[in-house]
Amino acid sequence: MIHDDPLQTAPHTPTDSPTGDALPWKPKVHGRKRGFLTPREKLWLDETLPELLPPVAPTRRELLQALEADPDSARLVLEVGFGNGQFLTRQAAANPQDRFIGIEVFQEGMAALIRRLQREGITNTRIIPDDARLVLQERIPPESLDWVVINFPDPWPKKRHHKRRIVQPEMLDLLARRLRSRGLLTLATDWEEYALWMADTLENHGAFENLAAPDRFAPQPEFWHETRFELKGVHAGRRIHHLVWRRKD
Ligand SMILES: C[S@@+](CC[C@H](N)C(=O)[O-])C[C@H]1O[C@@H](n2cnc3c(N)ncnc32)[C@H](O)[C@@H]1O
């Protein structure tokens, strides 16, 4: 949790949590948090982010109603680590009836997403500026998510850094409880060894099933939109691996 940051308006104690369960491990976010924001941009971000926080609600129905969506037909979609928001913006623009929540710790990325949303007049997207593991535990109601996206999570290639990876059994425990039955979990990476790690971790977890053939990565999904990170990987000669899984019934 980024305690020293004024942006942290989300509740952080389990007592505030609509979900009620305690984190079984202590998360620590590694990597860049601020980026190249001028003091003026930082001030603007501090003022704008609170308006974009989703309401706290105990159930999926109440959350979607508070977001002015039809709980019987709208999807609730969450992207973990949206970066500069390219993928999230495209999805939100293409699916105005759905509601999107983006979670990110990198402030320059948050600013980039807000600018995109404003430029394109997109109003179905909210932002939570915090560690995705805490957000899932504290802000997201149980069995509420139709789709969770994790695109190009930091690969932490050195073996001694593997514990920093976001895809871990404990993260999958959280996702299994926040996804609806048969809710989608899609992941993409240009790092083959991390792709295999993700597939093994999902397989061993037991709550998810692979929608591609067993022991296979998925072809590029129809919903796919290219991002800067994808291009970086492709230019470096790396292949993109897609994982399309869902929570079992
Ligand atoms: C390699 S970037 C990929 C960005 C984006 N998904 C894309 O495809 O362009 C990984 C992003 O995950 C964010 N991130 C890392 N750990 C996180 C966490 N625990 N909670 C939320 N975001 C996180 C980083 O700040 C970074 O922006």
Q: Which residues touch 28 (CB under 8 Å, ≥6 apart)?
A: 164
Which parts of the chain sit beneath pLDDT 70? 1-27, 29-32, 34
Whose Cα sits closest to atom 14 in ligand 1?
A: 81
- Contact in structure between 142 and 57 (CB atoms under 8 Å): no
pLDDT at residue 43, as a whole number: 94
Terminal C-alpha separation, the chain: 32
Name the residue of 80, 101, 116, 243 to mutate for ligand 1: max ligand atoms within 8 A of Cβ: 80
Whose Cα sits closest to atom 10 in ligand 1?
A: 153
The one-letter amino acid at 103: I
110-128 pLDDT, tens per residue? 999 999 999 999 999 999 9
Q: Name the residue with tokens 């932002």.
A: 127
126, containing H or E segment? strand 125-128
Q: Which domains does the chain have, with CATH numbers?
A: 42-247 (3.40.50.150)
136-178 pLDDT, tens per residue? 999 999 999 999 999 999 999 999 999 999 999 999 999 999 9
The one-letter amino acid at 9: T
Evaluate: CB of 34 within 6 angstroms of ligand 1.
no
Evaluate: CB of 106 within 6 angstroms of ligand 1.
yes
pLDDT at residue 16, as a whole number: 40
Distance, CA of 158 to chain centre: 23
Catalytic residues, which ones?
154
Name the residue of 34, 86, 106, 138 to mutate for ligand 1: max ligand atoms within 8 A of Cβ: 106
